């Protein structure tokens, strides 16, 4: 359900801001509600 909470572009993985440093956090692996699979290795 993270992609529903993110409200961003469905072609990119859900991202959230770190409460300590403000940097972006990405999931290592996530399968969205629409079947889209995201892998951290695809971003880096």
pLDDT tens column, 1-44: 555 665 666 667 777 888 999 898 888 888 877 787 888 777 66
Any idea what the Cα angle at residue 20 is, between residues 7 and 36, rounded to 5°?
Answer: 30
Residue 14, class by beta-carbon neighbours within 10 Å (0-12 exposed, 13-18 middle, 19+ buried)? Answer: buried
pTM of the predicted model, to two decimals? 0.50
Per-residue pLDDT, 41: 79
Per-residue pLDDT, 2: 59
Domains contained in the chain, number: 1
Query: Could you list the residue range(s) of the whole structural domain that residue 36 is in?
Result: 2-42
């Amino acid at each position: 359900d993270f992609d529903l909470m993110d409200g961003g572009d469905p072609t990119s993985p859900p991202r959230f801001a770190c409460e300590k440093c403000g940097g972006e956090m990405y999931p290592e692996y996530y399968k969205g509600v629409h079947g889209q699979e995201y892998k951290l290795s695809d971003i880096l």
